[in-house]
A and B are shown apart, each in its own frame.
Chain A
């Protein structure tokens, strides 16, 4: 026997003997079948209706079946299996409304979308008109403009508040922090009520896009401030220390070192704030109300927005108006989802949190 074969012992094949996918799969299938049979019987007997009824019966039957395995493997393992099934099942139940919502939005909204949907407004049409007339151009531009103005107000203010808390650490930092967090709990209708009673009722005496934007900025500010605060805190101390050691002022350090380092986080904060307010309805009902015409005038007339468009069409209550509401919902969800995904992608692991 040569030395080489003695030294280079054959390395055996890697195993994962704790994983037995075939056996686990077989067990699952058996359990599911048994539960399915029991569920079908139960539904016949008790008269629970529809898919949902059968699903509930299936879940109950599955739990009973899994519990029954305690006979063969003992209580400890049966409890563990039961917990696994229960947790997974509850998760699936939670997903049902989400699936239903997305499905309904798409299936009922698709028929109202045609080429002109995004380019026409409802100035010459009523909500009940046939679906190949009218559109949401006024709602889109309204949402865009109001959210833009709200961002121009809330994003700088939010970032400034965060800088005050994290960089300057002023005397009132604790108070500012606590109250911006508390402000995030202001009910949206109260924000609308506030702008109504100060701006609309007292100052301008009219409903317009600016009032809407102001109410949105109240809701946006806390989100931006809190996210920015988290992001600034993550910037390492060493960077600031290095800058100060070179003799830089706090102003230069903040604006040339800290903020650029946190740039992606700041964008995330802004995007999250936008996603938060793009779908708000209640405050707009009290401030910008609704307007059927496409307009960029934010001062002299009310302004439409996607959420109020949905709301108004829903209240009209005819088949066509419902279809329009669903279609606008589709557009609104798409915008909000795209924004959330963008925020997550830009910010990496730290985005998407409150």
Chain B
């Protein structure tokens, strides 16, 4: 005779908790506070949309693709026309340059800090890296403008004289100051600490037993890096790179100082002509009339959406990497 009682015949009890007065108030207050932050974020998006809506209504998708940015004339003889095409393209270009330049260094510095540096000074070096990460962008901009800009122009000149047969290194006129190249270099230095921080943390979790296996097979330290650490840290590196990319896209003051805005899509990165949506807003803000202001807000919205997407992807990648360990 079977004694099995099927699961469904057992009634599970539903436990209800009625919080005490104190806890109910507590929960409500905390929830309200937390949702308030959510509310603020939504408010940002809403207000930007509201103000910028007119612009999108007037220009539609052309706002994203056109490069002309003109406030028109007061008497109405010239119509205003706004488009962030060139600026958006420029933002992406300098962010890309920053990423390409900083990535090898980020990997090298992370490896150095985790595996090559003398153990006694490791904590000191990591602290130095954290402090550099805190240097405000206006100071980077100041240094970039006074020191990096003239030097970079010199490098650009040499680069141009040797490699001008490559289209992006060619220039129609030899003006090399405040170019996308220089802005990209400065941004690379600014985003390096963020990317390195994330990457180094991931490398520090590389499985020691596999590193031991490499040595056991007669491999060298570089063999261990190549076979174990670098493959292991790949997702962390991508996440860190994207975080850096997000920062580079949103950087305003430093770019303002080392980039000459030019309202046409420009591939020739050595030339003193570039774009940046953030810099555009800062530049035009002072003189903007009400209509142009709405256009600037619309531009801000575009920038907000782009950085939001990049940062969300980055966060997903980094968190996915963390949970997989």
Contacts and interface: CB of A to CB of B under 8 A. Distances in A.
In the complex they form, do A and B come into direct contact, defined as C-beta atoms under 8 angstroms apart? Answer: yes
A25 interface: no
Nearest to B40: A218
Given A80-B221, A180-B37, A279 B44 contact: no
A307 B135 CA distance: 11
11 contacts: A100-B143, A101-B147, A170-B31, A182-B41, A186-B307, A188-B252, A190-B48, A190-B304, A221-B37, A279-B135, A336-B134
Contact of B38 (A168, A172, A251): A172
Given A175-B38, A197-B48, A250-B26, A185 B246 contact: yes
Contacts of B303: 187, 189-190
Given A98-B132, A160-B30, A91 B38 contact: no
Given A197-B293, A332-B139, 13 more contacts: A76-B223, A79-B220, A94-B105, A157-B37, A176-B35, A186-B308, A187-B250, A249-B26, A250-B19, A251-B23, A281-B252, A307-B136, A332-B138
Interface in A205-261: 218, 221, 225, 249-252, 254
Interface of B: 19-20, 22-23, 25-27, 29-31, 33-38, 40-41, 43-44, 47-48, 51, 104-105, 108-109, 111-112, 116-117, 127-128, 130-143, 145-148, 151, 154, 189, 192, 197, 201, 220-223, 225, 246, 249-253, 257, 278, 281-282, 285, 293, 296-297, 300-301, 303-304, 307-308, 310-312, 315
Contacts of B44: 186, 190-191, 194, 218
Nearest to A47: B158
A298 B18 CA distance: 46
A157 B139 contact: no
Interface stretch (A10-18, A61-69, A322-330): A322-330
A279 B132 CA distance: 13
Contacts of B249: 187
Contacts, number: 248
Contact of B278 (A79, A160, A189): A189
Given A90-B104, A250-B26, A341-B131, A161 B34 contact: yes
Main secondary structure of the interface of B (DSSP, over half): helix
B105 A282 contact: no
Given A281-B253, A337-B134, A183 B41 contact: yes
Interface string A292-330: 000000000000000100110010000000100110010
A252 B117 CA distance: 47
Given A185-B307, A187-B303, A337-B131, A279 B220 contact: no
A213 to B, nearest CB: 14
Contacts of A197: 47-48, 51, 293, 297
A1 interface: no
Interface stretch (A81-89, A111-119, A121-129): A81-89
Given A170-B34, A337-B134, A83 B225 contact: yes
A333 B139 contact: yes
Contact of A91 (B31, B108, B308): B108
A124 to B, nearest CB: 25
A96 to B, nearest CB: 10
A329 B22 contact: no
Contacts of A339: 134
Closest CB pairs A-B (n = 5): A279-B136, A187-B250, A185-B311, A160-B33, A164-B34
Contacts of A182: 41, 308, 311-312, 315
Tell me which of A49, A167, A197, A333 has the highest count of chain B C-beta atoms within 10 A of its own C-beta.
A197
Contacts of B130: 340, 344, 352
Interface string A333-354: 1001101110010000000111
A90 B252 contact: no
Contacts of B105: 90, 93-94
A146 interface: no
Nearest to B48: A194
Nearest to B249: A187
B297 A160 contact: no
